[in-house]
Amino acid sequence: MSRGSLNDPRSAPVRRLRGLRRRATRAEERRFLVEGAHAVEEALAAMRHQHAPDVVVRDLLMTATAAQRHSDLASIAHEVGVAVSDVSDAVVDALSDTVTPQGVIAVVDFVDVSVGTVVEFDPRLVAVLADVRDPGNAGSVIRAADAAGCDGVVFTGDSVDPYNGKAVRAAVGGHFHLPLAVDAGLEGVVDAVRSGGLQVLAADGTGTLDLDAAGHEGLLAKPTAWLFGNEAWGMPDDVTSLADRVIRIPIYGMAESLNLAMSAAVCLFASASAQRSLDTKRFG
């Protein structure tokens, strides 16, 4: 690919890219910015291996220093036909929303698919975020879902934009590892995952059944969509009422709760572990 050069942060192309820091512009162009060598490498790797989800990197911007440090990125970009542009530190500063940017930014097409696609191929574990507002928390849930081997993550209700810079950073490449769906209609999402064969478990402190008991009952080994609510105000009744069961993480000490990302990690790993334990009993 021919290498362009972008040095002026006030130039039209940079101003246009800078627009992608706003949700409205991202939604319009269906593109987002991915910062940092690790996340960019995951995007390029997904494009090279063509595993789901379908990832298309439009541009790779690197400062001279970053290009030297991460010469492997330029090679992979070249291999998959992604243009690499030299950029100045000032351009990176204009595009980045981190305090100490690494000098590596990719422009990537939205990766989200429909909820129907998420549940199409016999999913076993899906994370559904309802009205989650904090981008760091939301991104961390994507990371936890990715680690727990989930078959997808669905952002629903009035949740934060999963393409928000902070969410993308916290997900550490998760956007390029597992299917992601964005669909505001929570009831439709619940219907869709249920018709995909998943029970719906809502994680909430008001649950009458605790996670350990759910495990002992064999509930966690079943194909499951976990529903996680807002970090500050929890889950309103009209959301919990959509679930088959409301499960509470047992609090053994004096803390009131865990934060959302920690709750999601505990629930998703409890399910992943129970599902695999069942595999071992069946086939092991």
The amino acid sitting at 64 is A
For residues 246 and 60, give the distance between their C-alpha atoms in angstroms, rounded to a whole number. 44
Residue 172 found at the interface with a second copy (CB under 8 A):
yes
| Residue number with CB closer to a second copy (59 or 146) | 146
From 1, 147, 209, 278, residue interacting with a second copy (rule: CB under 8 A): 147
200: three-class secondary structure by DSSP? strand
> Is 143 one of the binding residues for a second copy (CB under 8 A)?
yes
| 138 SS3 class | helix
- Name which position in 76, 126, 239, 272 contacts a second copy (CB under 8 A): 272
Query: Of 6, 144, 168, 181, which lies in the binding site for a second copy, with binding defined by CB under 8 A?
Result: 144
Residue type, 173: G
Question: CA 49 to CA 72: how far, in whole Å?
Answer: 16
For the CB of residue 126, give the shortest distance to a second copy in the complex, in Å: 12
Which of 14, 40, 66, 145 touches a second copy (CB under 8 A)?
145
* Region binding a second copy by CB under 8 A among candidate stretches 71-79, 85-93, 98-106, 272-280: 272-280
In this structure, the number of other CB atoms found within 10 A of the CB of residue 258 comes to: 16
Return the residue of 66, 203, 227, 249 that touches a second copy, per CB under 8 A: 249
Question: Encoding tokens for residue 227?
Answer: 């529903």
Three-state DSSP class for residue 101: coil
Q: Is 281 in the site for a second copy (CB under 8 A)?
A: no
Residue 238 has a CB neighbour count (10 Å cut-off) of 9
Question: What are the start-end ranges of the H helices in the chain?
Answer: 12-18, 23-29, 37-49, 64-69, 71-80, 89-95, 115-118, 135-147, 165-171, 186-195, 211-216, 237-240, 260-283
> Residue 209 gets which letter from DSSP?
E
Q: Judged by CB under 8 A, which of 90, 236, 244, 269 binds a second copy? A: 269
Which of 81, 255, 281, 283 forms a contact with a second copy (CB under 8 A)? 255
Is residue 99 a contact residue for a second copy (CB under 8 A)? no
Site string (174-203) toward a second copy, x via CB under 8 A: x--xx-------------------------
Q: Which residues contact 113 (CB under 8 A, 6 or more apart)?
A: 53, 179, 180, 181
Q: Is residue 278 at the binding interface for a second copy, with CB under 8 A as the rule?
A: no
Nearest distance from residue 5's CB to a second copy, in Å? 32
Contacts of 278 (CB under 8 A, 6+ apart): 221
Binding residue (CB under 8 A) for a second copy from 9, 19, 215, 234: 215
Candidates 33, 73, 126, 148; binder of a second copy (CB under 8 A) is: 148
Do the beta carbons of residue 107 and residue 20 sit within 8 Å?
Answer: yes
By CB under 8 A, name the one of 37, 83, 258, 278 that touches a second copy.
258
| Contacts with a second copy, residue ranges (CB under 8 A) | 140, 143-150, 170, 172-174, 177-178, 211-212, 215-216, 249-259, 261-266, 269-270, 272-273, 276-277
